[in-house]
A and B are shown apart, each in its own frame.
Chain A
Amino acid sequence: MIYPKKISAKKTEKLLKYLILLSVAIAILLVIINKLTTPKIHWAAICNAGIIYAWITVMYSINKNINIAGHVMIQTIALSLLALYVDYALGNKGWALNIAIPIAIIIANTTMFFLTIVSSRRYIRYAIYQLIILIFSILPIIFIYEGMVKNIMLSYTAIGISFANFIITMLLSANDVKDEIVRKFHL
């Protein structure tokens, strides 16, 4: 006999499928309870946005191929989207654009800066995520330009920190960024 008798099923995959089904069931249940108890306040939608955010984080964490910079990037984007939605669901007071997203951008850029300094040898693996974070960090300019932001100081601070981070990392790692672009866009 040169083969094992019992062939194992992919348990993790099955478990994930069951958990996704469970999440969907909970989400539907929350909507029903919301409709039956307090139909004027859409709290179930906020909970469901939280469930989606949690799943994005879980799926991303399971994926072991993603490095820490990838996590910073995905958390920045997912948290910003979650904040936007919660703000919208609670009456669109503007705190997501004014406070939450600029703070997320500041934290992301500061983290990336420290990552660049602390593990400079791995920087080349962070380069593409750094670029995406930078593009995301430019968004407050559009928000200011469109008059969507009242408290512009925090947004300007976020943009300033992003550019400062970009310039510093370019000075430190211009060749790495160039290499990464060459390999990502080779024909």
Chain B
Amino acid sequence: MNRKHLEWRKIDNSGKIFPISTGKKYSTVFRLSAILTKNISKRNLEKAVNIALQKYKSFKVRMKMGFFWYYFEHNSKEPIIRKEKTYPCKYINPRTNNNYLFKVTYFKNKINLDIFHSLADGNSASIFFKEIIYTYLELVHSKDFPEDIRVTKKVEDYTMEDSYAINYDKKAKSNNSSQKAYIIRGKKIGLGAISAIHQIINFEQLQKVCKKHNATVTQYLSALLIYSIYTQNYINNKDEKPIKLCIPVDLRKFYQSKTLSNFFSYITLEAYMKDLKSFDDILAFVKKDFKKRLTREELNKTMSGNAKILLNPIIRVIPLFLKKLIVRISYTQIRKYTTMTYSNIGRVGIIGDYQKYIDYFAMLIAPEPVEKIKCSSCTLGNNLVFTFTSILNDNKIEKAFYQFLINQGIEVKVESNGVLDDISKKN
């Protein structure tokens, strides 16, 4: 009997951990949003998503449970496109949305892609998201795009290889710090609400200020984040633990990988605040720590340390339900090693002809009970959109961050989902 072979694939080494540890409180979901110049047509968006899925089949999957690990299986259904109704980056129940591990929603002139981290990292998700946006714009403005004018990479140029398994170093020693981090304190918002505050920063002005300090944009904004945490939360609590800022790093830039699966590592800036009192002190420390940690050798140590755990034969043969139990218990402790995560996916490369239809892009990461605030940024044209997603019931850190930039003479506009409203009123 001739039966169609059902495609499936293992989840990459980094992605494996997410379905085991995830839940309603730890969604491990991030969002990419594109704010277009005109309101969204649902019908065209549905078409665009399905066309993009035909090209990027690695996203056309559902997650299934094996005895030892979860795995991805081809999903023959179509995803459901809905109007945005809930908070960003909420847990994606794999049994909803026709079993897809991402959700495409829209609101007025905005398109969102909420994506479960097991499926992709920021880099590969943005490739898929841009494909949706390009296709959508081609459908809506068919006269402007009569032919396929895109000369971006072809789908065939990408792979689904597990780049961790290929590139990790068995002999590399772990560089994980044993020092727990300062945890941001304060009352939580409650009722599952997530605050999203976007600070749309004038990129040219920001770059000028960064140049003055001989720092990169990521270094400058990282320093400003540490400074804002220090002045608004840390100083009142007289804690001696360091402020630890976790910065994800795309490993494709360091290894010759074209994978669409997860392939990222991170560096953790460990700021002991005893000697760092002013912003200039913190920036000098951040620059030095970046230089020390952002090297292929250091990243390899972090990546290999994590890969070795999941490739360990003993870990591999533990049944999935036991793995879940162990990981969930240990994760409450593991998470105490980071104060905050800041992910900068950098410039979103959009082809010139399409840019006129897009105002800006934004990225959002799900906050968690321990890491109550997470930050992310991306740049399109002259807009760097810095986003705070938070479950903390005050926005002092966000305000301090905003005020500091304004004081430097940098223009900043604010958009928010209104959960913590008063910073928006400043605008």
Residues of A within 8 A of B (CB): 1-5, 7-8, 10, 63-65, 120-121, 123-125, 172-173, 175-176, 179, 183-187
Contacts and interface: CB of A to CB of B under 8 A. Distances in A.
24 contacts: A3-B107, A3-B196, A3-B416, A3-B417, A3-B418, A4-B84, A7-B85, A7-B417, A8-B85, A10-B86, A64-B96, A64-B98, A65-B94, A121-B4, A124-B3, A125-B6, A183-B8, A183-B66, A184-B66, A186-B10, A186-B68, A186-B71, A187-B316, A187-B317
B290 interface: no
A121 B2 CA distance: 8
A8 B82 CA distance: 13
A120 B68 contact: no
B66 A185 contact: yes
Contacts of A7: 85-87, 193, 417
Interface in B1-49: 1, 3-6, 8, 10, 33, 35
B263 interface: no
B15 to A, nearest CB: 14
A63 B98 CA distance: 11
Nearest to A5: B418
B86 A8 contact: yes
- Lowest 8 A-B CB distances belong to which pairs? A3-B417, A65-B95, A8-B85, A187-B316, A184-B66, A124-B6, A2-B110, A185-B67
Contact of B3 (A4, A63, A65, A173): A173
Interface of B: 1, 3-6, 8, 10, 33, 35, 62, 64, 66-69, 71, 73, 83-87, 94-96, 98-99, 107-110, 193, 196, 198, 316-317, 415-418
Contacts of A124: 3, 6
Contacts of B110: 2
Nearest to B105: A4
Contact of A63 (B6, B64, B69, B95): B95
Given A5-B418, A64-B96, 5 more contacts: A1-B108, A2-B107, A121-B4, A185-B66, A186-B69
A62 to B, nearest CB: 9
Contacts of B109: 2
Contacts of A184: 66-67
A120 B6 CA distance: 13
Contacts of A2: 33, 35, 107-110, 198, 415
Contacts of A179: 5-6
A76 B119 CA distance: 35
A121 B98 CA distance: 20
A115 to B, nearest CB: 14
B85 A4 contact: yes
B413 to A, nearest CB: 12
B69 A187 contact: yes
Nearest to B419: A7
B253 to A, nearest CB: 30
A63 B95 CA distance: 7
Contact of A123 (B3, B84, B95, B416): B3
Contacts of B4: 121
Q: Which of A4, A8, A63, A121 has the most CB of B within 10 A?
A: A4
Most A CB within 10 A of own CB, among B107, B193, B317: B107
Contacts of B35: 2
A125 B75 CA distance: 12
A173 B1 contact: yes
B313 to A, nearest CB: 8
A16 to B, nearest CB: 13
Contacts of A4: 83-85, 107
Most buried by A among B1, B83, B193, B317: B1
Contacts of B68: 185-187
Nearest to A125: B6
